[in-house]
Amino acid sequence: MKTHEKKRRLLVVDDATYLLFSFKRLLADMQDEWDMLFMDDPVAAFAMVCDSPVDLVITDCQMPAMLGTELVRKIKAVTPETVCIIMTGSESSTDRLLAMDEVSGVLEKPCSLADLRRSINESGEEHECTPEARRIMG
């Protein structure tokens, strides 16, 4: 990365701390391009985004403190330009999640590292996607 370029900010939210540790390790080589934040509490993640907006949020769908869908809706209400991707372990909920205006894509758990990287890299592209084009299969 060139020193004069501003790094984009990525926030990954998942209540499974072992997954956050894995994401952090697997995405370490992208730290030249992204300022990466990993949080296990969606309520604290929302408060952080309100104070310091991010470019991309990747959040788990099922969390006890707040559902990922609620987190995405709250984030988009405060920072509509933030790209939001939801991770789900339920294939049956993918179409419902893609139908949400606030959701830019869905990662089905478990997702491959290639799909995770592709979703991060494509998050900066500015184009309208149909729900089918936004589906990111793991």
Q: pLDDT tens for residues 80-89?
A: 999 999 999 8
pLDDT in tens, 39-95: 999 999 999 999 999 999 999 999 999 999 999 999 999 999 999 999 998 877 888
What is the DSSP track for 9-74? Answer: EEEEE-S-HHHHHHHHHHTGGGTTTEEEEEES-HHHHHHHHHHS--SEEEEES--SSS-HHHHHHH
Report whether pLDDT(24) > 70. yes
Closest CA to 37 of 14, 12, 63, 58: 12
- Asked if 12 contacts 39 with a C-beta cutoff of 8 angstroms, the reply is yes
Tell me the pTM. 0.85
pLDDT in tens, 89-134: 887 788 889 889 999 999 998 888 899 999 998 886 643 343 444 4
